[in-house]
Amino acid sequence: MQKSKVYFTKEISSESLIRIYEVLGVELDGKVGIKVSTGERGSKGYLKADLIGPLVKKLGGTIIECNTAYPGARTSYEEHIKVAIEHGFTSIADIDIMDRDGEFKIPVKSGKHLEYDIVGNNFKNYDSILNLAHGKGHAMGGFGANLKNGSIGIASRNGKAYIHSCGQTEDPNECWNVKYQQKDFIESMAEAAKAVSDYIKDNNKKIVYITIMNNISVDCDCDAHQGDPVMGDLGIVGSLDPVANDQAFIDMLWNSTDPGHTKMMERVDRQEGRHITGYASEIGLGSTVYELINID
């Protein structure tokens, strides 16, 4: 089996972020969408505009997001934009809340749980995508990085409800009340990420994956009461394979000598989070076998 290439730098800076992008060897051109979490109001760990700004500007990119299914400050376009302004993102790029103008369905070709994925309508307008994730914990998924950013992140509000309910409802008000097995939710995220990847390939578009592993809290940036980091920064990883990139993040958490990494491992495994890379590999999204290439 050929190993996927994952590039790594320990340095977390605007310059090292650009180096990781450049070493991937794919020129994102045309209309470029930068999928990054704008962060819930009250969260602290979201990727900061001054860190990602130089790369976003280099690509001439638009920051793309969708509204949330959970009750919060980002359930509507008007409120979501206010948070994006507060968090500094409008200072570096235009913001496109992609489900402001509706949504559309894309097929899930090899799913056990989802028949389709529902993504923000404006997603179809982009020729190239940078999936720029923040590596951290997550209360429901165990952890969040590129796979979560490409599934829940690109899904519309109703699409998020559909993933969270493992295909049982598209209603954001109902999805939190349905019963499901935790592994089914993890697999549903992987299926949605695969649908997005397939859509990009089938339409001759481009995508690359980068995860910045800083401010590592057990809580997600979608948590208004996000806790402080529990361990030190790890660096940045980039790949053309989202499964390999997420696996590299997980492996770095597990191999870390930072005493705080035990809290991250507990959070990930309590939610069966590591299952996502194995299942995503099983359905053909990517590989958990990779070569880590240090560019420092």
Confidence band (pLDDT; 50, 70, 90) for 236?
Answer: very high
Residues 6+ away with beta carbon under 8 Å from 228: 44, 217
pLDDT tens string 111-152: 999 999 999 999 999 999 999 999 999 999 999 999 999 999
Percent of residues, the chain, with pLDDT higher than 70: 100
**Cα separation of 24 and 14, whole Å?**
16
Task: Please determine, for residue 69, whether its predicted confidence score (pLDDT) is greater than 90.
Answer: no
**Cα separation of 95 and 156, whole Å?**
15
pTM above 0.95, yes or no: yes
Q: How many residues does the chain have?
A: 296
Contacts within 8 Å (CB) and 24+ apart, 267-271: 267/137, 267/138, 267/142, 267/143, 267/218, 268/137, 268/142, 268/143, 269/142, 270/142, 271/138, 271/139, 271/140, 271/141, 271/142, 271/182, 271/186
pLDDT (0 to 100) of residue 224: 86
Q: What ranges do the domains of the chain cover?
A: 4-107+120-154+199-294
pLDDT tens string 266-278: 999 999 999 999 9
The arithmetic mean of pLDDT across residues 232-251, rounded, is 98
Q: Which of 5-9, 67-71, 159-163, 205-209 has the lowest mean pLDDT?
A: 67-71
The arithmetic mean of pLDDT across residues 212-232, rounded, is 94
Q: For the beta carbon of residue 115, count every other beta carbon within 10 angstroms.
A: 11
Percent of residues, the chain, with pLDDT higher than 90: 91
Distances (CA, A) of 151 to 142, 155, 247, 256: 15, 6, 16, 27
pLDDT tens string 163-202: 999 999 999 999 999 999 999 999 999 999 999 999 999 9
Confidence band (pLDDT; 50, 70, 90) for 77?
Answer: confident
Helix (H) or strand (E) segment spanning residue 247: helix 242-255
pLDDT tens string 20-67: 999 999 999 999 999 999 999 989 999 999 999 999 999 999 999 998
pLDDT (0 to 100) of residue 1: 63
- Give the single-character DSSP code of 231: B
**Cα separation of 1 and 79, whole Å?**
47
